[in-house]
A and B are shown apart, each in its own frame.
Chain A
Amino acid sequence: MMQKSTQLEKKVLSLRLRGFRELGIIVFIIVISVLIGIRNPRFLTWSNFHDILIDTAALSVLSVGMMLVLVTGGIDLSMESVLALTGMVAGMMVKQNPQLSPFFMLILGLLLGGLLGSITGLIVAQGRVVPIIATLSMMYIYRGITFIISGGKWINAYEMPDSFKAIATGRWLGLSKLIYIVLAVYLVFYYFVNHTHTGREIYAVGSNKEAARIIGINTQFITWLVYAISGALSGLAGVMWVARYASAQNDTASGFVMTIVAACVLGGVSITGGVGTISGILLGSITVGIINNALPMIRVSPFWKMALQGLIILVAAIVNIAIARNMEKSQLKRRVV
């Protein structure tokens, strides 16, 4: 009985803290938007807001994949290269066969990305290579393969059929189709992460791998799965990205992994594993999207973006740790009383 009530208290407390955290991000978004809006009124228009959402679409899809990997205690640096490789393959395919349907291309992106991701997953899960080393290598390997298959050339806007570019430019009920793709991904993964056995097992593996193994969770499969999912989502994002910017290049999204990690950490995902919510990373992605959109608007040179993103990652990671420690402390106090 006693046990039960403390557990309930713990749950309420963690919920309240999580709510507090997400409220904090929302307040931060509002404050920063108003401040930028004062400097440049164009920022607070509906069309700019819509632009931010479109620009953030690929990022928010990618952060779902990165979150799942981070929750297991790993990290996937290869996402940006999977994105580039899939985007390049998609670009080359629509160049050759303009009649291919956009829907088919999106599915193809998912499958190809999933294949690339599952290779990484095998290396981490079966080969037992430390995630950072495995994914750092795969990042350069996939980037190199992109270069090899394209022969160093770009796919330009005029080489892509309009139907393919319509993935990004097409509207439905006044909103870009990209936004519906993001919504679909978030709904699917909200259900997957919170309401399926496999989804919960991901958190179990991240919180305590050994315990998860002992209670019968196939930790190797879960580890493989998160990398396969993050690859699949990177592939999907690759097709979205190429359609959005209407060009496929060898250095597409080079360095973008920093942005993804920033969005995740800002959204409250713990680097040490076990912690992360779908709603959190959605807010994190939007915040990063707003910052990236606002920098040129308040005439900050684009060269600031890189350093700023690094700083965001660092500060957000430290804040996450402080929150987690506070939570533990208050739990400890309750236990003593």
Chain B
Amino acid sequence: MKRQNSLSDRRANITFKWEWLLVILIIGISIVNGRLSSHFWSYTGIMDALSVFLEKGFMVLPMALVLIIGDIDISVASIVALSSVLMAMSYKAGLSMVVAILVALATGAGCGYFNGLLISRIPGLSAIIVTLAGSSIYRGIAYILLGDQAIGGFPSWYSYLAWGYIGGTHIPFIIVMFVGCAIVYGLLLHRTAWGRKVYAMGINPVAARFSGVPVAKIKQIIFTLNGLMAGVAAVFLTSKLGSSRPNIATGYELEVIAIAVLGGVSPSGGKGGILGVCLSLILMRLLRYGMGLINVPGQVMMVIIGIVLVGVVMLPNIFGARRGRKRRLKEAQ
């Protein structure tokens, strides 16, 4: 009993510290960005800095859930590509843009449902292999459909989704959408019984199953959500780019997972929350903004993001192990 208490205390403590650490980092990076660019410290500057590439934010929210239940989904980038290509093709085939957007969402949800179905129904088939195969299959289908072509020429109102502002104000539409989604996910994960079950699955899936948590069903829902949000991201990304190709969103899976993990979500499951994920999204965005100011090429940014991801997972493990050993030594004495 005592041990359990100290464990939950320690976890609360860590998340508390972690989110403050993110805030401090955000402030630090903002100061550096402000020194690099005189346009940074203005309302429009910050809003624009945050809204560019916010489509990844839509993917980070459900990815946090996937990681919390101890799984991983590396097919999201490919789902974005397939959703975007199918949306563009159905618009080109004469459907209205609204229907085409629904096609994108349905494609995303469908791919996610397929992932979830295989992972939850076939025991022994891990999320790693299913989503690895999925990442090849979904982008492969996008290539089969479109080859090396691109489709553009969407109606002009469609670009409003990524570039527009809420009427009269200077609040980007995409930020409002994202904040809405983040609140929904935050409530779902932190304020409902369903959310508690998600954590229970991540901490101990076997125990969760024996205490009546519908493990397979929740897994199915979470992977479907992940696909659906990849569809949402596809809608916004295509709106931002103005055209669709099979090779869009390459490498997004790394960045999305990195943002979630940097936000305090443990890749081995059971830890993390939506607030941390949102803070880390802002942090990563500002970091990219600053690197863009000093002309860091995209490939080098991927190197830095990779190092950040490995470092964030590795450092607590190393220090945690050392602390654990010390505590055990003390107990032994």
Contacts and interface: CB of A to CB of B under 8 A. Distances in A.
A235 B305 CA distance: 24
A130 B313 contact: yes
A311 B318 contact: no
Q: In terms of DSSP, what is the predominant structure of the interface of chain A?
A: helix
A325 B134 CA distance: 23
Given A314-B118, A317-B125, A324-B124, A133 B310 contact: yes
Nearest to B255: A140
A309 B318 contact: no
B321 A306 contact: no
Looking at chain B's contact residues, the main secondary structure is helix
B132 A129 contact: no
A127 interface: yes
Interface string B261-290: 100000110000000000000000000000
A12 interface: no
Nearest to A131: B128
A321 B128 contact: no
Contacts of A134: 310, 313
Contact of A132 (B118, B128, B130, B321): B128
Interface residues of B, number: 46
A143 interface: yes
B318 A313 contact: no
B193 interface: no
B302 A310 contact: no
Nearest to B315: A127
Interface in A118-170: 123, 126-130, 132-134, 136-141, 143-145, 147-148
Contacts of B313: 127, 129-130, 133-134
Interface stretch (A2-10, A26-34, A192-200, A297-305): A297-305
21 contacts: A128-B314, A129-B267, A132-B74, A133-B309, A134-B310, A136-B74, A137-B309, A140-B306, A147-B297, A258-B136, A271-B126, A271-B129, A305-B140, A306-B143, A307-B137, A307-B140, A308-B140, A311-B133, A321-B122, A321-B125, A325-B124
Interface of A: 75, 123, 126-130, 132-134, 136-141, 143-145, 147-148, 250, 255, 258, 261, 265, 271-272, 301, 303-311, 313-314, 317-318, 321, 324-325
Interface of B: 72, 74, 118, 122, 124-126, 128-130, 132-141, 143-144, 147, 251, 253-254, 257-258, 261, 267-268, 297, 299-300, 302-303, 305-307, 309-310, 313-314, 317-318, 321
